[in-house]
A and B are shown apart, each in its own frame.
Chain A
Amino acid sequence: NAGVTQTPKFQVLKTGQSMTLQCAQDMNHEYMSWYRQDPGMGLRLIHYSVGAGITDQGEVPNGYNVSRSTTEDFPLRLLSAAPSQTSVYFCASSYELGQTNTGELFFGEGSRLTVL
């Protein structure tokens, strides 16, 4: 039971570098999303997707790109890393909303990113 898998768990970048955080789920969830969490704060939505080929912006999308070519994968790309992007990133997924499910979001374990 893998659930939501995020890689890498830890990453250190230099300002200006680019990288991709990977997120994969094996539950056939339609909905996937990325959040960031800064110290002492709640989670903020970066981008989300309601199905393959469909993505949309969340609360704090600037500096990040996403794509959804398959149902299983939802990578988050940092185009040119900045120290303000130092954070913990969480990927989450959910079944398609309906009356027969709870709408529960399943979260990965997080990816801790430091930008120097």
Chain B
Amino acid sequence: DAKTTQPPSMDCAEGRAANLPCNHSTISGNEYVYWYRQIHSQGPQYIIHGLKNNETNEMASLIITEDRKSSTLILPHATLRDTAVYYCIVRVANDYKLSFGAGTTVTVRA
């Protein structure tokens, strides 16, 4: 399985964009990049996923580099409720299982 590397923590100002980096240098061609977040020890929540194209939904945008070795999750206008642990996960296309690392603790400050 390809593994991911994320910074352990980062701060962001409320109302500003939060850019969360993730390295996955050993990713294979059939592996997707998934992002989840976990607020206050609740169950993790799906945010977005992608294979090689950039993706956007109502929560965030996902930018994947052309070589697919890294990606960035963008929260366009961070709010205090976005304070959470964010997990970047690489997942094989036909495999249900997700492997969670330590993630990035994002603190949004007023």
Contacts and interface: CB of A to CB of B under 8 A. Distances in A.
B96 A107 contact: no
Contact of B100 (A44, A88, A104): A44
B102 A41 contact: yes
A20 to B, nearest CB: 19
Interface stretch (A10-18, A67-75, A76-84, A89-97): A89-97
Contacts of B42: 107, 109-110
A4 B91 CA distance: 22
A42 B100 contact: yes
Given A102-B49, A105-B46, A45 B41 contact: no
B45 A50 contact: no
A97 B44 CA distance: 19
Contacts, number: 57
A15 B11 CA distance: 41
The A contact surface, by secondary structure, is strand
Contact of A42 (B43, B46, B95, B101): B101
Nearest to A31: B96
A72 B52 CA distance: 34
13 contacts: A33-B97, A35-B100, A44-B100, A45-B97, A59-B99, A92-B44, A94-B96, A102-B49, A103-B34, A103-B91, A104-B46, A110-B41, A110-B43
Interface of A: 4, 31, 33, 35, 37, 40-45, 48, 50, 58-59, 88, 90, 92, 94, 97, 102-110
Given A103-B34, A104-B46, A109-B43, 11 more contacts: A4-B43, A40-B102, A42-B101, A42-B103, A45-B98, A50-B96, A58-B97, A94-B96, A97-B94, A103-B91, A107-B45
